[in-house]
Amino acid sequence: MKQFLLSSIILTFFTVGLFAQEVLPIPQDKFNGTIGKTYKESKEDWPKLVSAPEGAPNVVIILLDDVGFGQVSTFGGPIPTPNLDALAAEGLRYNRFHTTAICGPSRAALITGRNHHNAGSGFLAEYATGFPSYNNMIPPSTATIGRILKENGYNTSWFGKNHNTPDWESSVVGPFHRWPTGMGFDYFYGFIGGETHQYYPLLFENTKAVEPNKTPEEGYHLMNDMTNKAINWMKYSKSVAPQKPVMLYFAPGAAHAPHHAPKEWRDKFKGQFDAGWDVIRQQTYERQLKMGVIPKDTKLTPRPEWVKAWSTLSTDEKKLYARLMENFAGFLAYTDHEVGRLLKAIKELPDAENTIVMYIVGDNGASSEGGMEGTINEVRSLSGVPTTLEENLKHLDEIGNPETEPHYPLGWAWAGNTPFQWVKQVASHLGGTRNPMVVSWPKMIKDKGGIRSQFVHLIDVVPTILEASHLPAPTLVDGVEQKPMDGASFLNTFNDKNAKPIRARQYFEVFSNRAIYDNGWMACAQHTFPWRQDFAPGNWDNDKWELYNLDEDFSEANDLAKKNPEKLKEMKRIFDEEAQKYQVYPLDDRGTGRMISEKPTPFDKSNKHFSYAAGATRLAENASPNTKNKSHSITAELELTNKDANGVIIASGGISAGFTMYVMNGKLIYDYNYFDETHYIITSSEVLPVGKSTVKFDFKYDGGGNGKGGTGTLYINGKKVGEGRIEKTVAARFGLDAFGIGEDNGAPVTTKYKPPFAFTGTIHKVDIDLE
Contacting residues for 218 by C-beta, under 8 A, at least 6 apart: none
Distance CA 367, CA 101 (A): 10
Mean pLDDT of the chain: 94
> At the topology level of CATH, where does 64-501 sit?
Alkaline Phosphatase, subunit A (3.40.720)
Dist CA 95 CA 88 (whole Å): 12
Pairing of strands 719-726, 710-716: antiparallel
pTM: 0.94
247 pLDDT above the threshold of 70? yes
**Does position 9 have pLDDT exceeding 60, yes or no?**
no
Inter-residue contact 694 to 636 (CB < 8 Å): yes
Query: Cα dihedral angle (247, 253, 254, 260), rounded to 10 degrees?
Result: -140
pLDDT for residue 13 is more than 90: no
Q: pLDDT per residue over 498-544, tens digit each? A: 999 999 999 999 999 999 999 999 999 999 999 887 778 889 999 99
**Tens of pLDDT along 379-392?**
888 787 888 899 89
pLDDT-derived band at 1 (thresholds 50, 70, 90) equals very low
CB 168 within 8 A of CB 600: yes
> What pLDDT was estimated at residue 19?
52
Examine the pLDDT at 16 and tell me if it is beyond 70. Answer: no
Q: State residue 167 phi and psi, 5-degree precision.
A: -65, -25
Q: Cite the DSSP H helix spans in 663-713.
A: none
| Identical fold, 64-501 and 609-770 | no
Q: Look at residue 7 in the predicted model and tell me its pLDDT.
A: 40
Q: What is the pLDDT of residues 612-630, one digit of tens each?
A: 999 899 888 888 999 999 9
- For the chain, the structural domain boundaries read 64-501, 510-595, 609-770
Q: What is the mean pLDDT of residues 359-379?
A: 95
**Cβ(762)–Cβ(706) under 8 Å?**
no
Q: What is the pLDDT of residues 639-670, one digit of tens each?
A: 999 988 899 999 999 999 999 999 999 999 99
Mean pLDDT of 426-445: 98
Res 596: pLDDT: 80
In this predicted structure, the answer to whether residue 4 has a pLDDT above a threshold of 50 is no
Q: Mention every residue, 6+ apart, whose C-beta is less than 8 A from residue 684.
A: 667, 668, 669, 714, 716, 721, 722
Rg for the chain, CA atoms, rounded: 27
C-alpha–C-alpha distance, residues 640 and 721, integer Å = 18
The set of long-range contacts for 661-670, using a CB threshold of 8 Å and a minimum separation of 24, is 661/634, 661/636, 661/695, 661/697, 662/744, 662/753, 662/757, 662/759, 663/688, 663/759, 663/761, 664/752, 664/753, 668/695, 668/714, 668/716, 668/721, 668/722, 669/752, 670/697, 670/712, 670/714, 670/722
Q: How confident is the model at residue 12 (pLDDT cuts 50, 70, 90)?
A: very low
Helical segments of 546-704, H only = 565-581, 592-595
In order of 376, 405, 528, 656, the CA distances from 381 in angstroms are: 9, 11, 16, 10
Q: What integer is the mean pLDDT of 217-236?
A: 98
At the topology level, CATH places domain 510-595 in Arylsulfatase, C-terminal domain (3.30.1120)
Q: Which fold has domain 609-770?
A: Jelly Rolls (2.60.120)
pLDDT tier at 683 (50, 70, 90 boundaries)?
A: very high
Q: Is 487 exposed, middle or buried (0-12, 13-18, 19+ CB in 10 A)?
A: buried
Q: Which helix (H) or strand (E) holds 107?
A: helix 103-112
**What percent of the chain stands above pLDDT 90?**
88
User: What CA–CA distance (Å, rounded) separates 495 from 270?
Assistant: 42
**755, 639 Cβ separation under 8 angstroms:** no
